[in-house]
């Protein structure tokens, strides 16, 4: 989505029209005959890699682990499994650092079975290898984004991929928000069902939009606001309180006329003045529309729908963790120095947000509340993470950096659900139908 979508063209957030009802039943593994079938197992193995010596290795295998239950089911059915995914954004050409070799190696280790990685995604060599497959074999096609046709959405690739299989088992929730030959293309051409991870993601995230237990507290942070505007607007329909942090908070403070000096308000690609102005306008509009909506959370805690930080930690830059200053936002005489930036929420904000979290029955969290990569600026984000782990609410996390941030604090086992999706989570919660869903719905 872009902040220049028609609904925002006049700087007015069009939230009355946003859909929040998502009731849906997907076709699953039991709804199709899989015995000894040739199956394209469409996964989202877009996993982080790092160089180790001469090789690349997978540094986070959560998405591979999430696909194993479905893969094991297919192997029990003696399917010939053809794994299809993209990794990174190679732009339609081969990029050595983005081959799937380290991914197939990690999958073989986890599955305890050899996974043959092919050197291409389509072509005569691939056809030959697939023709030799026996029931129970697993092969992995090369990164589909090495194909120009995938990047350009050409039907020729859809045809080549579709010929490979009798069935598509779609388990790539994290890539389900994109229209491409390897997503909507093959789903439209081959009988398809959802895998177990896909079903779980839709079921867990749907709970947030369909009658979440109140109070429903949403926490939104991260470095970019533009890709979360529609998600925020949609969640305002169902959430009782939205706690804001990170760069998103800076936009709201600026919209209230406060000084934010050099604080991040968007990532570099959206730094143009026009875009910034548009984002401030949207923030202003959201504040105006919610200003009279208060919720009583009990014990005298009466909160507005949008809650902004009370204090923030500032520093000259991210490399200056030893010299910081806490700015109380209610103190009209104490401003952030003009060449400093806000890098974390302050202790008063952590205390207030924690009190609200303690009273929640449902929580959704997306995005860090500060520059958590530097430990001096990670206390706010960590404080909120700990508050959620102590609460009795159903806690769901997902989108963008959220998972890596939680892993840094080693708290990942303490939440009810962490989605495997990045952008797909935000898209789903924005209420717009994911493009793959219509091919996976039960009649």
C-alpha span between 150 and 156 (Å, rounded): 9
Out of 46, 137, 151, 358, the only residue in the binding site for ligand 3PG (CB under 6 A) is 46
Measured torsion, CA atoms of residues 265, 271, 273, 278, in degrees rounded to the nearest 10:
-60
**Which residue, 13 or 425, has its beta carbon nearer to ligand 3PG?**
425
- Catalytic residue, chosen from 246, 400, 422, 431, is 400
Minimum distance of ligand 3PG from residue 228's CB (angstroms): 14
Minimum distance of ligand 3PG from residue 423's CB (angstroms): 5
44 binding ligand 3PG? (CB under 6 A): yes
Half-sphere exposure of 214 (CA within 13 A, CB side): 10
User: For residues 58-97, which are near ligand 3PG according to CB under 6 A?
Assistant: 89
423 catalytic per annotation: yes
**Which residue, 48 or 321, has its beta carbon nearer to ligand 3PG?**
48
Minimum distance of ligand 3PG from residue 50's CB (angstroms): 16
User: For residues 162-201, which are near ligand 3PG according to CB under 6 A?
Assistant: 174-175, 178
**Which residue, 44 or 244, has its beta carbon nearer to ligand 3PG?**
44
Minimum distance of ligand 3PG from residue 422's CB (angstroms): 3
380 catalytic per annotation: no
Q: How many residues are given for the chain?
A: 443
400 catalytic per annotation: yes
- What x-and-dash track marks residues 412-431 binding ligand 3PG by CB under 6 A? ----------xx--------
C-alpha span between 285 and 266 (Å, rounded): 18
Structural contact between residues 139 and 40, judged by C-beta atoms closer than 8 angstroms: no
- Catalytic residue, chosen from 63, 117, 160, 254, is 63
CB-based contacts of 319, cutoff 8 Å, min separation 6: none
DSSP string, 9-57: TTS---GGG--------B--GGGS--TT-EEEEE------EEEETTEEE
DSSP secondary structure letter of residue 230:
H
Minimum distance of ligand 3PG from residue 404's CB (angstroms): 12
Minimum distance of ligand 3PG from residue 434's CB (angstroms): 12
**Residue 328 host element (H or E):** strand 324-328
User: For residues 369-408, which are near ligand 3PG according to CB under 6 A?
Assistant: none
CB-based contacts of 442, cutoff 8 Å, min separation 6: 25, 26, 27, 31
Measuring CA to CA, which residue among 209, 198, 138 is closest to residue 174?
198
- What x-and-dash track marks residues 234-273 binding ligand 3PG by CB under 6 A? ----------------------------------------
- Catalytic residue, chosen from 145, 224, 278, 359, is 224
**Residue 294 host element (H or E):** strand 294-296
Measured torsion, CA atoms of residues 141, 419, 176, 114, in degrees rounded to the nearest 10:
10
Binding positions for ligand 3PG, rule: CB under 6 A: 44, 46, 89, 174-175, 178, 422-423
Please give the positions annotated as active site.
63, 224, 400, 423
């Amino acid at each position: 989505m872009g902040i220049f979508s028609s609904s925002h063209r006049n700087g007015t957030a069009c939230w009355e029209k946003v859909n929040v009802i998502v009731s849906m039943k997907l076709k699953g593994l039991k709804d199709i005959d899989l015995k000894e079938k040739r199956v394209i197992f469409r996964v989202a193995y877009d996993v982080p890699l790092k160089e180790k010596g001469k090789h690349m290795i997978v540094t986070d295998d959560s998405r591979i682990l999430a696909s194993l239950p479905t893969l094991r089911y297919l192997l029990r059915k003696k399917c010939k499994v053809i794994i299809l995914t993209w990794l990174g954004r190679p732009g339609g050409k081969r990029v050595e650092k983005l081959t799937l070799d380290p991914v197939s190696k990690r999958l073989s280790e986890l599955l305890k079975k050899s996974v043959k990685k092919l050197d291409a995604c389509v072509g005569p060599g691939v056809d030959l290898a697939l023709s030799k497959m026996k029931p129970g074999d697993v092969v992995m096609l090369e990164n589909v984004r090495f194909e120009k046709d995938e990047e350009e959405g050409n039907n020729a690739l859809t045809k080549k991929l579709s010929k490979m299989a009798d069935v598509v088992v779609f388990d790539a929730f994290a890539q389900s928000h994109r229209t491409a030959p390897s997503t909507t293309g093959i789903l439209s051409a081959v009988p398809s069902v959802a895998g177990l991870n896909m079903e779980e993601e839709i079921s867990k995230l749907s709970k947030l939009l369909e009658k979440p237990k109140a109070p429903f507290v949403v926490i939104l942070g991260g470095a970019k606001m533009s890709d979360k505007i529609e998600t925020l607007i949609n969640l305002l329909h169902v959430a009782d309180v939205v706690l804001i942090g990170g760069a998103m908070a800076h936009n709201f403070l600026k919209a209230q006329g406060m000084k934010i000096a050099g604080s991040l308000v968007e990532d570099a690609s959206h730094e143009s003045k026009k875009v910034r102005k548009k984002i401030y306008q949207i923030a202003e509009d959201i504040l105006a529309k919610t200003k009279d909506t208060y919720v009583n959370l009990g014990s005298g805690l009466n909160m507005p729908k949008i809650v902004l930080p009370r204090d923030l930690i500032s520093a000259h830059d991210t490399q200056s963790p030893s010299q910081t200053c806490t700015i109380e936002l209610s103190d009209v005489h104490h401003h952030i120095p003009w060449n400093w930036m806000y890098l974390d929420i302050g202790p008063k904000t952590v205390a207030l947000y924690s009190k609200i979290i303690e009273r929640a029955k449902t929580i959704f969290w997306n995005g860090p509340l500060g520059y958590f990569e530097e430990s001096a600026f990670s206390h706010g984000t960590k404080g909120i993470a700990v508050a959620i782990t102590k609460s009795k609410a159903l806690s769901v996390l997902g989108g963008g950096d959220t998972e890596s941030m939680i892993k840094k604090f080693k708290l990942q086992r303490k939440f009810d659900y962490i989605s495997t999706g990045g952008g797909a989570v935000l898209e789903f919660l924005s209420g717009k139908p994911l493009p793959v869903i219509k091919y996976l719905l039960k009649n």
